[in-house]
């Protein structure tokens, strides 16, 4: 193939100036603002949900006429600490992916993305069992003295039911997460590995 | 980087690279989702601009952001759609993209060129796409992160494939 021939291709390619682009500078800027606001709204919603749940718990405790029982206090502290640790480390993994430097040479970017992509799922599968055990433990501790007049059988049923509810809920959540992961992240990682292999083949 | 500076750089980049990045995104995204990828690329460029360190030209840096955004774009595609590359009927895809391009491409060569480049693997498409934008081996090597020689090797391997597709003849180079 001659240089001239290839130059013709390049010219033909670039002559396609994509016509009048539907997105002018102003449209791009307004879309960016919309995107920025959407991200802020999502983050605000997440923070509000956590805040509301904690406030609700605090409110429930405060409205009790009787003094706060030690078991309730221990349970609440355990739930709060456990949730904060699990969620902050999970957000950290998500944040790591968002903070990948897109301005790096692609081969470096690909290697970092391959390392960062499975981190969130690995975190969940590794730490979810321990998180659940502590949540179940905390919930059961809170319930110890909550209903002193209930029959022992009913109390046992409440404890078992709460524990089962927690574990089944988590199992369902994990299934949904894994499905999304298998559909979006696994093919992407395979694609990135193939690209990395193809682009770096013969480099070393 | 000050907000005014960010805005200025962004405007300059937009004026210079608007068409190049649009062509690149249309080539790199699946199933006519070029406009979505293009929007994501510009958003990423805007967001990443404050982290531009000046270790390469601004155009090279923005092209890196575009290539890396295109590489990651499949993640959001996977979330929205069950289709994977393997599931896609390539023939239909090329037909659809070519049909969408009919208004823009009015010569046979451009039409064939676009169809043939679209048939390449996405990673090869990106390299060829950048080279068709008259980016040098050095520019492409800075974007991708491999040596100039290796870019040459990759293109040397891809050009005969393209020629064979475009001319319909056996490779003679």
Contacts of A121 in chain B (CB under 8 A): none
CA distance A69 to A74: 9
pLDDT digits (tens, 9 = 90+) for A10-49: 888 887 665 544 456 666 667 667 767 777 788 788 788 8
Shortest alpha-carbon distance between residue B165 and chain A (Å): 13
Neighbours of A56 (CB within 10 A): 10
Kindly report the average pLDDT of chain A as a whole number: 84
- For residue B102, what pLDDT is reported? 46
Exposed / middle / buried, residue A151 (Cβ in 10 Å: 0-12, 13-18, 19+): exposed
Residues of chain B with pLDDT under 70: 30-31, 74-107, 169-173
Among B64, B71, B163, beta carbon nearest to A103: B64
The structure tokens listed for A122 are 């690995």
Shortest alpha-carbon distance between residue B80 and chain A (Å): 9
CA distance B138 to B148: 5
Listed in sequence order, the DSSP H helices in chain B are 3-28, 34-48, 58-80, 90-101, 108-119, 122-132, 137-144, 148-167
pLDDT digits (tens, 9 = 90+) for A122-180: 999 999 999 999 999 998 998 887 777 888 899 899 999 999 999 999 999 999 999 98
Three-state secondary structure call for residue A21: coil
Q: How far is CA A150 from CA A72, A144, A145, in A?
A: 17, 11, 10
pLDDT digits (tens, 9 = 90+) for A56-85: 877 877 777 777 788 888 988 898 899 889
- For residue B77, what pLDDT is reported? 55
Q: Which of B59, B72, B87 to mutate to test the interface with A (most CBs of A within 10 A)?
A: B72
Contacts of B132 in chain A (CB under 8 A): 9-10, 13-14
CA distance A46 to A68: 29
Contacts of A180 in chain B (CB under 8 A): 79
CA distance B131 to B125: 10
- For residue B35, what pLDDT is reported? 86
- For residue B123, what pLDDT is reported? 84
- For residue B68, what pLDDT is reported? 94
- In this predicted model, which residue has the larger pLDDT, B148 or A5? B148
CA distance B76 to A59: 40
- In this predicted model, which residue has the larger pLDDT, B12 or A50? B12
Structure letter (DSSP) for residue B56: S
Shortest alpha-carbon distance between residue A10 and chain B (Å): 5
Structure letter (DSSP) for residue A68: P
The structure tokens listed for B125 are 């498409």
Task: State the Cα angle at B31 between B25 and B34, rounded to 5°.
Answer: 20
Nearest to B44 by CA among B24, B63, B28, B60: B63
CA distance A112 to B93: 31
CA distance A137 to A146: 15
Contact criterion met (CB below 8 Å) for A180 and B79: yes
- Mean pLDDT along residues A180-203: 86
Q: Which of B127, B146, B164 to mutate to test the interface with A (most CBs of A within 10 A)?
A: B146
Contact criterion met (CB below 8 Å) for B131 and B140: yes
- For residue A203, what pLDDT is reported? 61
- For residue A90, what pLDDT is reported? 87
Among B75, B107, B109, beta carbon nearest to A185: B75
- B32 inside 8 A of chain A by CB: no
Write down the residue that tokens 């449209």 correspond to.
Answer: A27
CA distance A171 to A125: 11
| Contact at CB, A14 and B132, closer than 8 angstroms | yes
Among A5, A105, A191, beta carbon nearest to B64: A105
CA distance A128 to B122: 37
A55 φ, ψ (degrees, to nearest 5): -65, -40
Three-state secondary structure call for residue A129: helix
| Contact at CB, A9 and B132, closer than 8 angstroms | yes
- In this predicted model, which residue has the larger pLDDT, A51 or B140? B140
- In this predicted model, which residue has the larger pLDDT, B107 or A115? A115
**ipTM of this complex:** 0.76
CA distance A133 to A31: 44
Chain center to CA of B68: 10
CA distance B68 to B79: 18
Exposed / middle / buried, residue A119 (Cβ in 10 Å: 0-12, 13-18, 19+): middle
Three-state secondary structure call for residue B133: coil
- For residue B166, what pLDDT is reported? 85
Contact criterion met (CB below 8 Å) for A128 and A151: no
CA distance B42 to B47: 9
- B58 inside 8 A of chain A by CB: no
- For residue B39, what pLDDT is reported? 87
- B1 inside 8 A of chain A by CB: no
- For residue B34, what pLDDT is reported? 85
Q: Which of A99, A101, A102 to mutate to test the interface with B (most CBs of B within 10 A)?
A: A102
């Amino acid at each position: 193939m001659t240089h001239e021939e290839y130059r013709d291709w390049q010219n033909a390619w670039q002559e396609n100036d994509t016509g009048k682009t539907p997105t002018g500078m102003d449209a791009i800027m307004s879309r960016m603002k919309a995107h920025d606001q959407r991200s802020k709204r999502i983050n605000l919603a997440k923070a509000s949900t956590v805040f509301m749940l904690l406030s609700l718990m605090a409110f429930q405790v405060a409205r009790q006429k009787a003094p706060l029982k030690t078991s309730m206090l221990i349970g609440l502290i355990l739930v709060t600490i456990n949730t904060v640790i699990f969620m902050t480390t999970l957000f950290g993994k998500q944040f790591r992916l968002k903070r990948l430097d897109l301005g790096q040479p692609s081969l470096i970017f690909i290697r970092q993305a391959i390392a960062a992509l499975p981190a969130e799922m690995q975190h969940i599968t590794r730490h979810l069992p321990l998180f659940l055990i502590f949540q179940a433990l905390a919930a059961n501790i809170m319930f110890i003295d909550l209903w002193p007049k209930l029959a022992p059988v009913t109390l046992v049923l409440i404890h078992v039911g709460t524990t089962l509810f927690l574990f089944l809920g988590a199992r369902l959540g994990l299934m949904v997460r894994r499905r999304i992961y298998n559909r979006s992240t696994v093919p992407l990682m395979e694609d990135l590995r193939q690209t990395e292999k193809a682009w770096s083949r013969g480099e070393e | 980087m000050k907000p005014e500076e960010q805005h200025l750089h962004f405007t300059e980049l937009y004026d210079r690279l608007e068409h190049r990045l649009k062509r690149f995104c249309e080539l790199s995204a699946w199933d006519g989702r070029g406009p979505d990828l293009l929007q994501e690329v510009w958003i990423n460029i805007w967001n990443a601009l404050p982290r531009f360190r000046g270790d390469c030209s601004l155009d090279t840096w923005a092209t890196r952001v575009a290539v890396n955004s295109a590489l990651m774009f499949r993640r959001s595609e996977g979330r929205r759609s069950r289709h994977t590359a393997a599931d896609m009927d390539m023939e239909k895809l090329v037909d659809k993209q070519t049909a969408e391009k009919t208004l823009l491409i009015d010569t046979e060569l451009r039409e064939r060129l676009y169809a043939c480049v679209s048939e390449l693997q996405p990673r090869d498409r990106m390299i060829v796409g950048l080279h068709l934008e008259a980016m040098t081996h050095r520019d492409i090597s800075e974007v991708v992160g491999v040596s100039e020689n290796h870019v040459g090797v990759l293109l040397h391997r891809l050009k005969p494939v393209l020629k064979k597709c475009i001319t319909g003849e056996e490779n003679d180079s």
